[in-house]
């Protein structure tokens, strides 16, 4: 008797995309819960970069609310791909645009067709102007239009854009709590994300951006502002089929359920030490790497190579604004800079 072939569609369900909501107190807890929830309740479907014969991935529309985004721990060790230097570099790419020049060109076809920072940076002065206008005219900053967008249809719908921006929109919402304190919430909308190897790093950077924006608005209106919730929504948050076949995702999920999120978490400053450096030392290294790149020595050279090239990394000076609000965001709101 011949063996009955398994129906390849047996895992697909009804073809309706599920909506999953996750609540957590800190980012590490949110990451852990989201990874497990996507596995347990996500639809089985081909994920980006699917190849023939690969297992179906898990996919869902997911909204994740982090009640205290600045609370530690922020790192879910299962979900971090980069070391401490890589995480710090990504933060600076998002907040200060240190690699806005890393865009696809004839010499570097492997680079991105966009950077997040260059997509939203020119919109920040307009958001601040609207907040100030509302405070002056209405005596409050409860508007629903303090937002930026990243999608450029003329660039992102064309076939030449292989991988258009995942981050689509960011919105800042100011509410007042029962004690009369202003609380700033931050909402982001994403087109598509890799949950296991991108989500945690993405949102470490988003929370740094959230803190910078809160501090700026607080200084501008001369009132204290508390950090509220960080709310992240992805139209497609997914686990790749590749992770099932090559990384034993099922074993990882079993381990995560058994140990719980706390044992799988680390403080952000402790994670930076995976590169044997603290925040300041990592910024010195990254600044030296950027100068070395400009001199034709290649990208992201390690500390030992930089020192051989004559860089005293331990004393290298990095831009002071890397510790604070970027000066470029203080320009006047000029509509001409938005024209492309």
Q: In this model, does residue 8 exceed pLDDT 70?
A: no
Quick check: is 321 in a domain?
Answer: yes
Residue 6 pLDDT class (50, 70, 90 cuts): low
- 311 alpha carbon, distance to own chain's centre: 31
Q: What is the pLDDT of residue 50?
A: 86
Average confidence score pLDDT of the chain: 94
Return the SS3 of 257: helix
pLDDT-derived band at 108, boundaries 50, 70, 90: confident
Task: Tell me what the mean pLDDT of segment 217-230 comes to.
Answer: 97
Cis? peptide before 73, omega within 30° of 0? yes
Mean pLDDT score, 70-98:
96
Tens of pLDDT, residue by residue over 296-322, are 999 999 999 999 999 999 999 999 999
Residue 312 lies in a domain: yes
Q: Does 4 map to a domain?
A: no
pLDDT at 4: 47
Residue 293 has a pLDDT of 96
How far out from the chain centre does Cα 302 lie? 24
Contact 204, 27 (CB under 8 A): yes
* Of residues 201, 206, 260, the one with CA closest to residue 70: 206
87 has pLDDT over 70: yes
pLDDT, tens digit, for every residue of 17-53?
Answer: 999 999 999 999 999 999 999 999 999 999 888 888 8
How many domains in the chain? 1
Determine, yes or no, domain membership for 283.
yes
Neighbours of 141 (CB within 10 A): 24
CA within 13 Å, CB half, 296: 0
- The pTM of this model reads 0.93
Give the per-residue pLDDT at 1: 45
Task: Say what the pLDDT of residue 28 is.
Answer: 98
Q: Which residues contact 105 (CB under 8 A, 6 or more apart)?
A: 111
Contacts of 225 (CB under 8 A, 6+ apart): 174, 181, 182, 183, 184, 214, 217, 218
Judged against a pLDDT cut of 90, whether residue 117 lies above it is answered with yes
Q: Judge whether 124 lies within some domain.
A: yes
**176 part of a folded domain:** yes
Two structure tokens written together for 296: 């034709």
Return the pLDDT at 51: 86
The enclosing domain of 247 has a CATH number of 3.30.572.10
DSSP string computed for 265-318: EE-HHHHHGGGT--HHHHHHHHHHHHHHHHTTS-SS--HHHHHHTT--GGG---
Q: How far apart are CA 297 and CA 308, in angstroms?
A: 12
What confidence tens digit (pLDDT) does each residue in 121-132 have?
A: 999 999 999 999
pLDDT at 3 over 70: no
Q: How many CB atoms lie within 10 A of CB 127?
A: 22
Do the domain assignments include residue 292?
A: yes
pLDDT at 337: 82
For 109-178, give the DSSP string.
TTSBS--HHHHHGGGHHHHHHHHHHHHHHHS----S--EEE---HHHHSSTT-SS--SEEEEEEEEEE-T
Q: Which pLDDT belongs to residue 10?
A: 84
Range of the domain at 156: 19-338
Q: Is residue 13 part of a domain?
A: no
- What's the mean pLDDT in 1-16? 70
């Amino acid at each position: 008797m011949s063996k009955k072939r398994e129906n390849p569609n047996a895992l697909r369900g009804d073809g309706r995309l599920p909506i999953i909501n996750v609540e957590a107190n800190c980012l590490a807890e949110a990451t852990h819960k989201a990874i497990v929830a996507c596995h347990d309740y996500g639809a089985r479907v081909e994920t980006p970069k699917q190849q023939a014969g690969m297992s179906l991935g898990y996919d869902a529309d997911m909204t994740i609310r982090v009640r205290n985004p600045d609370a530690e721990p922020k790192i879910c060790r299962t979900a971090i791909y980069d070391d401490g230097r890589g995480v710090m570099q990504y933060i600076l790419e998002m907040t200060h645009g240190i690699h806005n020049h890393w865009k696809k060109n004839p010499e570097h076809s492997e680079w991105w067709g966009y950077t997040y920072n260059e997509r939203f940076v020119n919109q920040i002065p307009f958001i601040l102007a609207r907040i100030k206008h509302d405070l002056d005219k209405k005596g409050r900053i409860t508007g629903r239009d303090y937002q930026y967008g990243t999608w450029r249809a003329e660039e992102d719908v064309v076939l030449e854009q292989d991988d258009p921006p995942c981050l689509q929109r960011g919105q800042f919402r100011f509410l007042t709590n029962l004690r009369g304190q202003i609380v700033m919430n931050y909402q982001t909308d994403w087109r598509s994300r890799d949950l296991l190897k991108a989500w945690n790093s993405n949102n470490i950077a988003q929370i740094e951006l959230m803190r910078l924006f809160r501090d700026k608005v607080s200084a501008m209106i001369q009132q204290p502002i508390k950090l509220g919730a960080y709310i992240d929504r992805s139209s497609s948050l997914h686990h790749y089929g590749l992770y099932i076949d090559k990384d034993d995702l099922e074993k990882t999920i079993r381990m995560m359920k058994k140990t719980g999120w706390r044992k799988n978490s680390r403080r952000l400053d402790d994670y930076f030490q995976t590169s044997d450096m603290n925040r300041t030392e990592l910024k010195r290294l990254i600044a030296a790497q950027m100068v070395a790149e400009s001199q034709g020595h290649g990208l992201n050279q390690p500390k030992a190579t930089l020192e051989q090239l004559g860089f005293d990394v331990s004393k290298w000076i990095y831009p002071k604004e890397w510790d604070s609000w970027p000066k470029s965001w203080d320009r006047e709101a000029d509509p001409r800079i938005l024209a492309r």
